[in-house]
Structures are given as structure tokens and as C-alpha cells.
Structure 1
Amino acid sequence: MLVAFKVSAQTKVPPREHLLMDFGWRFAFGHPFDTNKDFGNATGYFSYLAKTGYGDGAAAADFDDRSWRKLNLPHDWAVEQPFSEKASYSHGFKAIGRNFPDASIGWYRKTFTIPASDEGRQISVAFDGVYRNAIVWINGHYLGTNASGYLGFEYNISSYLNYGGENVIAVRADATMEEGWFYEGAGIYRHVWLNKTNLLHVATEGTFVTATVRPGVAVVKIKADVINEGNARQSIIIKQTVVNAEGKAVASSTGKSVYLSSLQNKEVADSIVIPNPQLWSIEKPYLYKVLTEVSSGGIIEDKYETTFGIRTIRFDANEGFFLNGKHIKIKGTNNHQDHAGVGSAMPDALQDFRIKALKSMGANAYRCSHNPPTPELLEACDRLGMLVIDENRLMGTASTELGDMKRLMMRDRNHPSVISWSIGNEEWGIEGNITGARIAATMQQYVKSLDTTRFVTAAVSGGWGNGISTTIDVMGYNYITHGSTDEQHHKFPSQRSWGTEEGSTHASRGIYFTDKAKQQIAAYDRRPNQDFVSIEDGWKHYAQRPYLAGMFIWTGFDYRGEPTPYQWPSTGSYFGMLDQCGFPKDNVYYLRSWWTYLPTLHLLPHWNWMGKEGQMIPVWAYSNCTEVELFLNKRSLGKKSMPVNGHLEWQVAYQPGQLEAVGYRDGKIFLRDVVKSTGSATQVDLQSDKTSLIANNRDVAILTVDVKDKNKLHVPDADNEVRFSVTGPGKIIGVGNGDPTSHEPDQYIETIRTASINNLRERNIESIDIPAATIAAYPETDFSPAFQQDRNKEFAASVKALAYRGSFELPQNLDQATIRFFYRSIGKQQTIYINGKQITANTAYSKKGNTFVLDKTVIKPGKNTITIIAVPLTKQNSWDIINMDPGLIQLVNPAPVWKRKLFSGLAQVIVQSTGTSGDIIFTAAANGLKSKSFIIKSAPPKLLRAHVEE
């Protein structure tokens, strides 16, 4: 059951509605060149580009999508696909793209109602992101095409709507072409919104809030772009109110009065003084809101809400970065939008999970590599205290590139977390030459014309001292092996700088011996090759140079694609400090030692090395203790002093038992870390990041699955296959284990196939009351191809009834399938037989069609016959269109059991609420092991998010 904000005739309609539109969509694959597989779209005499309202095929309002899969957004169809060696290396070998035309075009449709009372308002549909090349229709009317998969877009649909009736949005997404060189997903992988306003309103993303901090006060400057979409000149008043995090108004303006002509927009500026402001910081990310109120004639026409933070930022060419006047060394990570199990379609709560994981290791900055992020990522960074480089997708100075840059900035300019706009990344063709310098200079000037409060950067991997590096505001170094940062600083002493990418070490989580055959890499932080340095060496370089503001590690999380240094069968990267699930690799503890003040002592590797008795095992310790002493089975192997920003190593002859590290500060024992040899697994264990969920169809819990031995010790090298099930108001939406070589499915979903009715033929009969046996006895020679005769008035006068005969093919195994016949009326009245058995009798015409669940005794594998006896549909006017398609047979096979093999002892399951309250019982089981269940409470939300109902 979905809970929605409803407006009745007795309820006052709010001046602005922002309705989530994620629920109850239909999805099916199309095709890039076979129009039959693409539902006949754009095959009509007049196309949707030729005549208004001529969207055909799946773009038509009356298209029958009942056989399509039903789902909620966000949705990434790429993550559902199998792996293939023929697929793209950079996109994780998921079977989409040019070599897989049957899985590279996706169609989405949603039917929704608009109340009659909304007529006269401005209504738009807004997409936060569709990958990729999204074509959108409303009620068969073409709205536009959005090429980029990373930028949101919005269409005003007010003129096209059926007020008081049903409306249909259709979207065709084309993921055939890659936009990046990393996993990007496919489909409507971000939220969709239905926005409603009055004719007088603030423009979409029409406010810009900045603050100047002085002793004891902050001056908040607000610019609001207001539009009059009515047909008469209006006198309006715009009032601004600042509300604190507790919801209390702390200051407001007296209101600005302006006149707006019909279809005119005007930017109105105002300022408010806030005494004793709470500053937004990494430690205390305090957020305010500006409420912009637009009124005319004493009536409030719009209320627009803008979240912002009060903070100051400063880059110094010699001293680095300052937040609120305090020096901050940037300790950042690069990240793509991709997570195990769900791909690019990340639930909002997963954004928080990932940012918290990065903060726990000491990261204070996030680079959106290499594209505009989803809005919820920036909201999480605002709430949790994470600085952000907000990055453009493609450098250029044509209207396309500059327009995309503006869209990014307009959307994200009020986020206090965003401290820099990045105009590009590793543009090898131009970064070291005069063309790159011109493009960068133009883009930088354009960015500054829109926002002077932030700094402009670009990530440059070569050609330092030339091209882009000569003109960019904040120089972004990608890998110190490509040149000398000291020489660049000496040559351009007034240029600010930081490391936009550094590290690029390779590690398989929990693996400590490199095995090229298995494509596994030991998780010690070692320099991978001559082109890159280790995490430790990279951090030492940046930590020792005050002029460098800090660095961003490549990467925070592993991601699909770029399985350097390997090819197939590896499908994911080895770069992350955390794997694709967010499980920490050992490098996390190196960073935590030197990026935080948290007491840290971590030993690696694990101590399960049966068969390696007596062999020397490298043992490392990460710690911010001053000294560490290592013990094997209580025998000291020596005490060593910890170098600043370093680590300690021992070579230890393996014997089973206990490895213990003792950390000292000021000569006193401060911390201990113990690693023990374990026995075989005996039981499954579960942990969850949450014990309760909000029953809103969106909230998720992240469950960690592992196994324990008889002593309840975690078994770090276990690889058991574990099965999962859920009862209650929850569902599994994804599984993973962080193994970049795994080809197991991320998702287990039901499969849908359809069968068309073929070779439909017809013959005249006297009456629909003729017995079926008589119809069955008619030879094939009595039938002609159906619908060859025009259904005009002469036909209506001469033909009383028709018998149609056709066939459809079904696969051999029908045991588990649910089989439905989605019938579309081809008669005013009809009786239907399948294989001689009656399905329905004297059924009247239905505009929406009929659905029949077919019993297994009616159908059979292979060829099936269908007979329809009908009073034919006829035209009232010569231009009428008569339905000639009797529909489809749909076969739905249930989803297989969810399962995943443990990798280095761990797996992850993402469970989502399904909209009702109660206990979600999650169970994990494995052969030969004791199973484990975990209960997650699902509770109604305190505040309902308004949304469009299914």
C-alpha cells in the first residue's frame, strides 16, 4: 500500500507541490534498429517530429503496456544483465551496448491522473537523470530529447494534460553509446518528480543564496528568479525568511515589490542579517533554509524552499585550504555512482551509508568523478559534513558544453558542501596545448560569471606547465609521477593547487598473496607500477607540502569497470579503499591512522594459512601509536617506532595461533589488536546498519553476512554460498560480496516473456452464436488474412459476425510460469477459445482490454490455436483507427532464490521497505551451517513525502 498526499475539494491546495513520481512504472526492452522489437515507434506516416501529438507505438497514449514489467524507480537495467566477455571492459562487462541491441534500449511508461482542479496551474515533469539519450512523450506529444545521462531536465506539460482524467508519460532511453569509461548503468536511475505551481512562481532552481560572515553576524544575500506565466501584468511582493535547523524563523526581509509583465521573469535580490550564525563545518554541518514567498493582491502564490549553509572558504597558493578561517588539509576520495547489488540506481539511504563509510576513515572531501552527481549525494554531503568537488562531464565552449555546465551549477549552487567547480578531467587531447588553455580559460570565465563564491579546478594528468595548467584557478594534479608539483608551484607561485587523483594502488579485500591466475591482488599498499605511487607515498607527498591543499585518492569505493591491471574475467576495479559493498580494505586503517585522531591499531593479514607452516608471511601494522610491539603466540617479535604517515612491517614464520599487536604511547600500553587462526565455519551470522526502516517503499537496510567458527570467530577466508529470504513488508533489492572477479547476479528478478498471436485470419459467419465445433471444422482455405477489408459503413452493413483464427508459440517448460492473456478487443462483442476451450463468452468491448489468467490445462508447449468469434468493430468516420491487434500472451517465471558466495568471508544484502509497517524477517542459510535470522522493524513515517500514486 502506498501512502500519498491527497488534495480533496475541501482541502486548500498548496501553492507549490513537489510530488515524487517513482512508483508504478512499466518497463520493457526496445531495440535500436529493429522497429518490430521497438514496438513500432516512429513508423507512422506522420512521425512525432512531423506532427504534434503523433507519438506512435509505445509512445502513444493508448499503447497497451499491460504485459510490461511493473517496477519502481530508481531503476538500472544494466545491473540486471549477465556478464559477457563481448561487453565493454570499462563498463564492467555487463551485457549492454552495441554488441547487445536487445538489452540497450529501455522503454518506461507511467499512467497517472491529474485532478480537474489543476487546470490553469503550471505542471511539469522533472527527471533527475536518465541514462541515456532520453526521449520523452506525454499523451503522445513529443516533449524533447536529453542526451546526457547525468544532468536533470524538466518539461512543462500543462498544455498537454487531460485534466480530470488519465495521462501517460513514455520515456525511451538509449544506453547503446557510452558517455564515460566507467560503469554508468542504464535507464531512469534517479528520481522523477511532478511539479505544480501557480502562474506566479519562483523558477526551477531559481534561487541563489550566499553569505558573508562578519564578527557576530552573517549577511545572507538571496537572489530569486520569479516568473509570471499569466496573461496579465502583475504587481508582486517577494518576502524572504531564514529558518534555522530547528524550524524557527531567525530573520526575514520586509519584502520587495516588483511588476512583472505577462511571460516575464525577473531576478529579485534581497539581503538578511542573521545574528550569531551557526556555521556549516565538517564537524557540525549546520543547515538553514530560506523560504521565498511570492504574493499578489494579498494572496500567497508561491512558497519556495532553499536549503543552504553559512560558511567561508578560502584557497591560498602557499598555505592551502581554509574553512571558516580554519586551515583544513583536504583528505579526499574520488567516487563513481555505483554500488554492489543496485548499480547506479542507489536508494537515497545508500548515499548516507557511503558518505558515513568515507568519513569513518577520515575522509573530509569527495570528488564527483567524472560527472554531475545525483542530488541526493550532495544532500548527504550537506547533512553529514563532506566537502565536494562538483564535476562537469565534458570540456568544451560550444553552447552544448557551456549549457550543461550552467545546468549543473544552477542545480547545485546552494549546497554548502560544494567548494569547487571542476570543468574537466584528464583531457589528454588538449590538456597540454594552447587549445586546452583557451577552452579552460573560457569555461573558467563562464563559471565565474555565474558564481564568484567558489573556485574553479580541472584535473590534469600531463603537460604540467603548459595548456590547462597555465590558466586554471586551482591546479588539479592527477598523479605526481607525471611531473613535479614543486616545479609547477615555482613557475606559477600564485596558483592554488591540490591532488585531484592520487594513489591508484590495487588490492583485493582480504587477499594477501597475489594470484594472477585468479586475478587476485595482495592487499598490501605497494606501488602498482612506475606510473603510480602507493597510498602512503602519495599522502606523504601532499602532507609535507603546505602549498598543496590536500589530495583525493583514486578511489574511495571500488566500482564496476576498469579492472586494472587485468581484463576479463575481472569485471570491477581494484582501486578502492573500500570494495563495491563498502567493506573496508586494509588501506582504510592506514588512512584512519593519519587522517583522524581516533586511536587506531590494525594488523594484517588474517592468520589462517593452513599448509604454509614455517613460510614467511609479511605482517603489517597500521597505527597512530608511537610504538608497536608484535607477538606470535605470546612471544615478542620486537617493538618498532611508528614513522609519521607510515606503517610497520615484520616477516613472520607462520604457525597457527594468535598474532597480537600492542600499541604504545608515552611508553605505556595504549591499544591492542589480535588476529587468531580460526576453525571451519559452523554458523551464519548477520549484522545490519539499521534495526528499523521507514515504511515508505524507499528506505533500505544494509546487511552484512559472514560465518563464524565454533568459537564464534569470524572466518576471514570463507567462501560459502549463502541463500537469503525475506518475509514481511520488505524485499531484497541487491546482493554483492566485493569480489571483482565474481560473475554472480547482482539481482534475482522474475523473468517476463511474451508471445504474439501470429497468422491471424478471418472469415464471415452469420452469427456469433454459431457453435465452436462448427467454427473449428471450417478448413483453413475458408479464412483470409485478417483486416484486409476496410471496416467502413458498407462493411458494417454487410458483415454481421467474424470468426478469427490464429496461433501462438509457447516454450517447452511451463511448470513455474504464470500465463496471462492480455486481450485487446477486436469486436463489439466476442467469445474466445484457446485450443478449443472457451476462455470467455460474449464479452463486451473494453477500451482498456481484458486480462485472462490461463490455466495449464488450456495451453501447451509449442503451437497453440486461438479462435475469436466477434461482432466486428467498424468505423464511424473514415479517419477512425480500428484495433487490429488481439493482444499478447505473457509468461512470468518467478525470481530464483537470492544467494551469494562469501568473498574473503563476507557478503552484503540490501533490503528495502515495501510501504507497510510490521516486522521484516531476513534469513540467511548455507549448506551444513546453522542459519540466522534478523528482524528489522518497519514503521510508518512521521512525515509523509507527497507523491503520485500508482
Structure 2
Amino acid sequence: MKIISYPKALWFAALLISSCLFAQNKTGRDLVLLDKGWHFSFGHLYDTNKDFGHATGYFSYLAKTGYGDGPAAASFDDRAWRQLDLPHDWAVEQGFSEKASFSHGFKAAGKGFPEKSIGWYRKKITIDKEDLGRVISIKFDGVFRNSKVWFNGHFLGTEESGYNGFEYDVTAYVNYGGENTIAVRVDASMEEGWFYEGAGIYRHVYQQKTNPLHVIENGTYVTSVIENNTAQVTAEVTIENKGNYKGAIEIVQTIVDASGKTITTASEKATAPNFYKTGLYQSVLQVNNPLLWDVDAPNLYRLLTDIKQEGKVVDRYETTFGIRTIKFDAERGFILNGKILKLKGTNNHQDHAGVGAALPDELQYFRIKKLKEMGSNAYRCSHNPPTPELLEACDKLGMLVIDETRLMGINKLHLGNVQYLIERDRNHPSIICWSVGNEEWNIEGNITGERITNTMQDFAKSIDPTRPVTVAISSGFRSGISSVVEIMGYNYLGNGDVDAHRNEFKQQPGMGTEEGSTFATRGIYFTDDAKHYQSAYDKKPRPSFYSIEEGWKFYGTRPYMAGMFIWTGFDYRGEPTPYGWPSVTSYFGMMDNCGFAKDNVYYLKSWWGKEPVLHILPHWNWEGMEGKEMDVWVYSNCDEVELFLNKKSLGKKKMETLGHLEWKVVYTPGTLEAIGYKDGKKILTEVQKTTAKAEKIQLTAHKPSLDKDNDAVVITVETTDKKGLHVPTVNDEITFAIKGGGKIIGVGNGDPTSLEKDVFLDEMAFAAITNLEEQALTATALPSALPAYPEADWQEAFKNRDYKKQAASYVYRGVFDLEKVSPNDVVSFFYQKIGTTSAVFVNGTKVTASAEDAQKYVFDSVILKPGKNTITIVTTPLVRLRDWDAMNTNPGTIQIVTKAEAWKRKLFNGYAQVIVQADGSNSDIVLEASGKDLKACTLTVKATAPKK
């Protein structure tokens, strides 16, 4: 090995020149979304053959740099794999199994299913030659879970948690001006939570390009102090130098408002950090008459951080922030911008009907809007850091947030996760509190819990002193964590004496971090344990748990309590308490997992919202129950409500504050009507009518148009009778077809016992070519018809091949098995070259390559047969240029694609949901819905020009 040594001064000068040239030719940063066009396939948890031979090479990727093998190698042929776009959750695509995880909703994935617990993702990208000299990184918002990443065969690292974002610098590994390969192996065999978490790259992936002198990821921290209608904004920025520029820099901080108008600017002279070092810099800016961020007026600003080198901008970093004040007070509760605000919160896991954990960005906004409509103003991230888009939605829509880390502890794993969480999220004005733990029963009441909490709490304060810290506690409120945590989080009134704890720790603010855990099935009003249905009336679910009304009456009437967070806003997959199989989702939500309201929504809307509310339950379709007494409840914030059945008054009742009204009513078909009064005047009328049979399908989109390439629309499916009335008892199956510029990505209906498919995908199977044999030939010309070769001359292919003395050509023969042959199946051969030029025959018939790919052959079903099929390849040999070259001996993969059946879903108590995503073609989307004995419906969702 020859080592070339350069003078140190010359080496630094070369790098300095490179850096300066870069600064002149490339400024700022590029952030490119890499969601489109990934290839995916399942690997295997422990069978390396089924894991594509990964990690079986003599030198592993951990032993030698650049030695990724199997799918981790840049040269791996993934053409036969499924093509998809991110975000992607492979767990939601699986069927259900009683043997699968209770907590993950009995989806047939995870450690009990080794063939569905490992997923491989690969994507090829081109990076321009002009980018040489820039810092190139790949950024992942989150992968569930235990991901390993390679770039051009170079191992980059592992991220165990499925909730942390991470990025890798790939600058040194880039093939500039050519193709580059990202490979990700995801191991979802272990669970981090006891709730559905999905599997795969379920958040966004980006490519980032920056100047060597740049703001680090999550490298700004914006705080403000408000006094006399003026905000003093402190902007801290951490700059990294991955080049060798040494000298003066200028840091320009500019605040702009929502319209882009410049509000104020500040400039600081500084010195660049040293090579591969960081520097922390601070600027103070003044904003006069600031527009405060509030739940009703979520005003946002942007901080533009420009790094200048020799007068030129080399990096610009944007930070969205809000100006507001928050305070938790032990006597007055929570205070926002100097005004007391009761926290009306919900807990939520991050999954949705049809799509699992891989939510399009628009679904984050859809769900937060649903909670806001209910009157909620606060959201607890249960029990992990959320995707960034959720917090962006909360910022823009005005939803307060408790942001929560996953595990309690004091080591690098635990504190590192806390640091990442806070540094990533601390500029979001929506976040009012950091939660560092949830129901850690083993340590809640002892000295270990105290020590851990004190450490985590102080550590969090060292990163962000502007927000308090809480822990949600459920095993009693007496000692341990409860006595030292800054904001006490009470989980469930039945778990301890909240008032007694409050009286002992009067200087400690508190809130109900979880309350409720009530059971309800949307549209069901009689509990049926045989069918796993729970009545939707708000009842005490278990002896140690309280109803929604009981919980809010407790926290809503105690001024020193900041508020209450209900378990949960939405139903979620997994934890199907109080049942098990075949229930697959929870029953706790105020809404089902589609976002369709259960009746408790209207109780909360009555006492959380600002508008008049009047709601009757149950529906009034009870064929066969004529003459039987029914419980009729009314949720309202009116002073009084009068109930009528078929225009006959059943009495007027006065509404109790934070309560509801009840009547006993003998069922008679017709019209149940409620009239609400305020100050003696009739202000609202609500009816429940007995409907006729369902005759028509109705489709309603949550918004009229799509305006982004990856935008999504949520479509409600229901049936109506001949008068157009919604029929609340129908469970018909509806079939869907879509045309235009979009695709269906998921369907649901809110039924906790539904084992229907969430996703309808083409089924993809692979057949290996086995028993590969060869014969040496003397002719160089390839045959147009398959000759008869002597059976006695066949021998094992590539065995003892002398690559210096090869024949003029070779014929190879192998077999592949097909379980069935159907004209509806597409059988393709993805050929991997075992020769320079080749002729391919199947069962004696010559096949031709496809126009799209010269190494892909699509077989006509007429030449195939069930069982064993013979493939023959005649080819001129590859030449080994170097003795150590590894020659390909794998002829390729047979792929069998069975087309998916039509998208469909049964209505559940009158409703179903379809989620449609734009495909980037900017064309209108037409969804058609049909069902037996029902009038079909067509809905058009308009496409508007994508926003720039």
C-alpha cells in the first residue's frame, strides 16, 4: 500500500478553496421529499435465505466499510419488489389473527409472524455533480422500528426507537452525477407500546443539502418575553462547520409575519466554529404590538436565520414560532397570555382507520379539527413523540399540546430521547408541557421514581426552561414521583384521593392527565357482550373509573386544577378492553377510529364549546321494540329542554350545569323532538326520526378540492331513505371504484369487531429458479428455437468454472413452481445477467423482453402450467476481468402478481369512510360507490393547482 503525504498547509488550502468556491456557486439549503418511488419487500426475522442472504458475507457491514450485502448492497436487484410511496405501514395491510398481539389489534405482523416482522425498503436517487462540496444527508422523521440504514452499501447506523427522527451524513459516500441507493431494514418484531404502532417507514424521508457551514438540525431556539405590549425575542442558533472555512461570519435574524412581511431584523458579527465543531450564537429582536398565539387566534411568525460568509448567504434556516405566555398556577390552574384557560383535553395514539400509523399530512389536520369541533383545546401525545406534522397542525389550528417521551430513565438512551424530543419541538407554541413518564407502576411510589424524575425534570429544564414538566401517575397519589414532579398528572380519580394529595402539596399545580376510559360503540344503545358491543350511554365503566361526565364535573369545578385529558379522543387499534378477540380496536374514544362522533362528543361540546348544543340519543329506528320503554338522553347547554314524541310533550326539564337530561319513553315509531330554551326563549330544535329503508348511497368529502401532490381527502359514506334521511341501522357492503388523479389508500367503518380488509392490494408472490444446470456450447449465435440438448451432458451450473477458459456460449436450465395458472395473474421474470447476450425460453417457447426493461420478461399464461415449469437461458458468458471479481450466478426472480379485488367496506350503523390521496397528476378525482339494492353515487373532488 502506497501512502501519499501532502503538506498540511496545502491540504487545508485545498479544502479552503473548495469551500470558498462552493460558497460562490451554491447558497442556502435544499430539502427534497423522498416519499415517492420506493421498492419494498418482506425479509425474515431469522432465516437468512428468506432475508435475501443479508449479513452472510465473509466481511459483514460491521467488519468492513461499504460491505453491505443482500438488499443492503447497492448492486442488489430489487426490480421484482413491490413499488410504493411513503408513508407506509405494512402492519395495517395484513389480515387479522387470534394468535397475533392483543395490544396491536390482532394484526398478523410482529414477533409471532417472522415472515411479516422484517421489511426492506430501497430507493435510488441521483445527486448532481454540482453538489460536490455540499453536505448531503438523509433525514427520517420516524421508522417503526429498529431500523438500519445503508447508503451505496455503506452502513450508516441504527435507530432502535420507532418514534425518534434521525439523519445521516452521506457526503463521503455519494456517487456525484450518478445513481445512489438508500437501503433500510426495519425490524418490527418488538413492540414499544401496548397499543397499535404500525410497522415500516411510516413518516416522511428527506434528502438535505447544505453548505459545510450551516445551522444544525433543530439548531434554533426562539423564546420571548412580553412587557408593555412589546415582545423581546431571543433567537439562539447553533452553527456547525463541516468545512475548513476559518474567519468572520455574519448571522442575520429576521422575523416575518404570516403574510411574509418583515417585522424586525438583527445582525451579529461572529467567528466561524472550527472544523467539525459547533458554535452557539444569540440575537435579541424586538416585536412591537405582537400578535399573540392563542387557541382561538393561532398567530404565527417565522424566524429566517441567514448565515453569511464574505457577504454572501451560505445557509438559510426557517423556524416557525409563536409569541405567547404560559403558566401553571397551583391556585388558578392554567393561564395562557394572562388569562385562565381550562384545559379541555384528550389523549390520542397516532393511527387512523384504513391507513394505520401511516397518516397523510391532511389526516393530522382532519383529526385536530374534529377535536376542536368537539370543544377540545388540548392534546396529550400518548405515549411517545408525535410526527412533526401533528405539531404543525396544532400550531396552525390552535391546539395546546403535552409532548411526551417514551421511557423513563437516566442513561444516554432515556435522556438522549428527551433531548431529541425537546430540541426538535421546543419552538412549537402549541406545546405547553413536557411529559417524561406515564404510569410507570414499578417506580411511581418509591425513591427510585423520585430520583429518576428529579434527574429527567432537571435535564429537561436545562434544554428548555420555559415549560414545566409532568408525569402521569396511576398507582396512587401519595409518595415517590407524586411528591417531586413539577406538575402533578393524575391518571383516573379511582386510583387515589386527588383532593387529599392536593391538600398536602398545595404549591404543586395539577391536572387530570387521563380520565374516563369509558366503553362505547358508536350507534349501539344496548350492551351485547356476545357481539362485543358496548352501549353508547355515558356510564361508569368499572368500579375504579369514572364516566366522562363524572370526570369533567370533578376537574371542571376545581379552579386549582388546570383541566382534564380524556382517555381518548379517538378509538385506536389494539387494547380492545373489555373484550378480546375478535374485537380489534379500543372502545374508549369520544369518536371511533374514523372520526365519526359517538354521543359523548355532544356532552363535551355542550360544556366545552361556545355554541348552543342540543342532541338526542338514541336514534329512533327500533323495529320490533314497539311498546317497550327506552332511555332517552339529551345533551345540551340550554337552560331548559322540552321533549316531544309525535308532537306530544313528555315534559320540560331544567338542565343541570355540566349535566344531561333523561326521560323514559315508550317506543313508538315517528318523531322524537327536543326544543331547547335560553332565558325562556326557544333557541334550538333537534329531532330523531324513524326512517324508511335505505335506498341511496351518499358520499361527502371533508373538503371540496385537493391542492397538493400528496394531499388527501376523507370521504364519508352513508345511506339515506327516499326522503334523504340518514339510516342509522344499515350495515350494507359498499364497493368503490376510483378514476382520475388519485388512489384509495384505506377504508374503515368504526366497527371494533370488523375483520374486513383495511387495504386492498395486489398479491405478490415469488417463485425461485431451482436445480440450475448448464451445458457448454461451441456456437456463439443464440438460437431462435430451443434445440434438443443431450440429457447426459447437463451438470450443476457454475460448479468449478474456469473463467479463463470458458466456452463460446452456455445453456442453462432450471425449474420454477407455480401453484396455479390464471389468465388474470401476471407472471414476470426479472432476469439478472448470467451472460452478455441471452435468449430465454419457458417450457420450450421463446419469450421476448418487455419494452420497458430489456431484462424483464412477462410470460403469457398459455405457455405456463400448474406445478413445475422449465426455464432455459442460452447466453454468451460473462468475462471475469479480475481474479477477485464475484460473478453473478443467480438468473433472477419469477414474480407472480394477482390483481386485487375491488375496494369495499360494510357500513357500520350507517357509516363508512374512504381515504383518497392525490397521485400528483393534478387531475380531478371521481369516486364511485355501489351496493346491492341501492342507488349508486358518484363524487368528484376537484384538483386545484399545487401550492408553490
After TM superposition, the score normalised by the length of structure 1 is 0.96
CA displacement at 1:771 relative to structure 2: 5.2
Find out whether 1:785 has 2:790 as its counterpart.
no
1:695, 1:916 within 8 Å by CA — same for their partners in 2?
no
- Counterparts in 2 of 1:122-271, with a 5 A limit? 122-271=135-284
With 223-232 and 146-155 compared, the bigger mean Cα shift is at 223-232
**Consecutive unaligned residues in structure 2, runs of 5 or more:** 1-21
Alignment of 1:758-837 (within 5 A): 758-769=770-781, 775-779=787-791, 781-793=792-804, 795-796=805-806, 799-837=807-845
Deviations 1:797-819 (A, max 9, x none): xx222111111111214221112
1:743 matches 2:751: no
The partner residue of 1:874 within 844, 863, 879 is 879
Specify the code of the residue in structure 1 equivalent to 2:493.
Answer: I
Q: CA shift at 1:770, angstroms? A: 7.2
2:390 is the counterpart of 1:377: yes
Question: C-alpha displacement at 1:14, in angstroms?
Answer: 4.5
Q: 2:320 aligns with which of 307, 317, 324?
A: 307
One-letter amino acid of the structure 2 residue matched with residue 61 of structure 1: A
CA drift of 1:920 comes to 1.1
State the distance in 2 between where 1:156 and 1:260 align: 19
Q: Which residue does 1:947 correspond to in 2?
A: none
* CA–CA distance in structure 2, aligned partners of residues 705 and 15 of structure 1: 46
Summarize the Cα distance change of 1:635–1:282 in structure 2 as closer, same or farther, 3 Å threshold. Answer: same
Aligned residues: 926
Q: CA deviation at 1:56?
A: 0.2
Q: 1:521 and 2:522 equivalent?
A: no
Partner of 1:284: 297
Counterparts of 2:378 and 2:25, CA distance in 1 = 44
Deviates more, 1:259-268 or 1:356-365: 259-268
Q: In the alignment, what sits opposite 1:614?
A: 627
Q: 1:893 aligns with which of 892, 898, 907?
A: 898
CA distance in 2, matches of 1:191, 1:774: 50
Q: Are residue 702 (structure 1) and residue 711 (structure 2) matched?
A: no
Query: What is the aligned partner in structure 2 of residue 568 from structure 1?
Result: 581
Partner of 1:931: 936
- Measured after TM superposition, the shift of residue 860 of structure 1 is 2.1
Task: Check conservation: 1:106, 1:187, Cα contact below 8 A.
Answer: yes
Give secondary structure in 1 for the equivalent of 2:316: strand
Deviation at 1:447, TM superposition (A): 0.4
In 2: Cα distance, 1:783 partner to 1:722 partner: 57
Separation of aligned partners in 2, 1:909 and 1:12: 48
**Other structure's SS at 2:287 match:** strand
Which residue type is aligned with residue 789 of structure 1? N
CA gap 1:471/1:342 in 2 versus in 1, 3 angstroms: same
Cα-to-partner distance string for 1:535-561 (whole Å, 9 max, x where unaligned): 000000001111110000000000000
For 1:528 and 1:265, the matched residues in 2 are separated by 54
- In the alignment, residue 878 of structure 2 is paired with which amino acid? L
Deviations 1:169-226, CA, capped at 9 Å, x for gaps: 0000011010100000000000001010001110111000001111121000000001
Contact 2:62 2:155 in 1 (8 A): yes
Question: Structure 1 CA distance, aligned partners of 2:802 and 2:279?
Answer: 56
Give secondary structure in 2 for the equivalent of 1:673: strand
One-letter amino acid matched to 2:822: L
Q: Distance in 1 between matches of 2:848 and 2:473?
A: 69
C-alpha deviation, 1:783, in angstroms: 1.1
Structure 1, residues 127-185: CA drift from partner, whole Å, max 9, x if none?
A: 00000000000000000010000010000000001000000000000110101000000
Could you tell me which residue of structure 1 aligns to residue 102 of structure 2?
89
Structure 2 CA distance, aligned partners of 1:840 and 1:643? 79
Task: Give the conservation status (yes or no) of the 8 Å contact 2:737–2:927.
Answer: yes
The range that moved more, 361-370 or 229-238, is 229-238
* Aligned with 2:915 (options 903, 910, 919): 910
Deviations 1:213-252 (A, max 9, x none): 1112100000000111112423211110001111011000
Distance 1:770-1:700 versus aligned 2 partners, 3 A rule = closer
Gaps of 5+ in 1: 1-8, 944-950
SS of equivalent residue, structure 2 residue 401: strand
Distance (Å, rounded) in 2 between the aligned partners of 1:12 and 1:861:
61
Identify the residue that residue 946 of structure 2 maps to in structure 1. 941
SS of the equivalent of 2:829 reads strand
Which digits, 9 at most, give the CA deviation of each residue in 1:94-129, with x for residues without a partner? 001121111110000000100001011001000000
What amino acid does structure 2 have at the position aligned with 1:484? D
Report the CA distance shift for 1:699/1:14 in structure 2 as closer, same or farther (over 3 A).
Answer: farther
In structure 2, how many angstroms separate the alpha carbons of the residues matched to 1:40 and 1:928? 53
CA offsets per residue over residues 301-351 of structure 1, 9 Å max, x none? 100000000000011011100000010000000000000010000000000
Kindly indicate whether the alpha-carbon contact (under 8 Å) linking 1:505 and 1:525 is maintained by their aligned counterparts in 2: yes
SS in 1 for 2:92: helix
Say whether residues 1:838 and 2:850 are aligned partners. Answer: no
Q: CA deviation at 1:775?
A: 4.0
Q: Distance in 2 between matches of 1:233 and 1:898?
A: 61
Q: State the identity %.
A: 56
Shift of 1:751: 1.2
Q: Which residue of 2 aligns with 1:690?
A: 703
Give the letter for the 2:942 counterpart.
K
Are 1:629 and 1:662, in contact at CA under 8 Å, matched by a contact in 2? Answer: yes
Mark the CA change 1:828 to 1:322 in structure 2 (over 3 Å): closer, same or farther. Answer: same
Cα distance change of structure 1 residues 836 and 622 upon mapping to structure 2, 3 Å threshold: same
Which stretches of structure 1, 4 residues or more, deviate above 3 A after TM superposition? Answer: 11-14, 768-775
Amino acid at match of 1:941: P
**Alpha-carbon distance in 2 for matches of 1:121, 1:300:** 14
Counterpart of 2:468, as a letter, is F
Q: Is the contact between residue 40 and residue 81 of structure 2 (CA under 8 Å) also seen in structure 1?
A: yes
Contact kept in structure 1, 2:708 and 2:947, CA below 8 Å: no
- Corresponding residue SS for 2:924: strand
Instruction: Letter of the 1:191 partner, please give it.
Output: H
In 1, Cα distance between equivalents of 2:936 and 2:37: 35
- Measured after TM superposition, the shift of residue 463 of structure 1 is 2.9
Residue in 1 that maps onto 2:862: 857
CA contact (8 A) 2:552 2:564 kept: yes
Cα distance, 1:259–1:856 mapped onto 2, change above 3 Å? closer
Deviation, structure 1 residue 942:
2.7
State the secondary structure of the residue aligned to 2:391: helix
The whole-number CA distance in structure 2 between the counterparts of 1:437 and 1:284 is: 39
Contact 1:792 1:876 in 2 (8 A): no
Please tell me whether the aligned partners of residues 772 and 813 of structure 2 are also in contact (alpha carbons under 8 angstroms): yes
SS in 2 for 1:405: helix
Q: How does 1:640-651 map to 2 (within 5 A)?
A: 640-651=653-664
- In the alignment, structure 1 residue 712 sits paired with structure 2 residue 720: no
For 1:911 and 1:587, locate their aligned partners in 2 and report how far apart those are by CA, in whole Å.
Answer: 28
Contact 1:351 1:380 in 2 (8 A): yes
Once the two structures are TM-superposed, the CA of residue 486 in structure 1 deviates from its matched residue by 1.1
- The CA deviation at 1:13 is 4.6
Shift of 1:791: 4.3
Amino acid at match of 1:664: Y
- More relative contact order in 1 or in 2 (CA 8 Å, sep 6+)? 1
Q: Helix, strand or coil: the match of 2:420?
A: helix
SS at structure 2 position matched to 1:110: strand
Match of 2:412 in 1: 399
Task: Give the conservation status (yes or no) of the 8 Å contact 1:703–1:909.
Answer: yes
* Residues 359-381 of structure 1: CA deviation (Å, up to 9, x unaligned): 00100000000000000000000
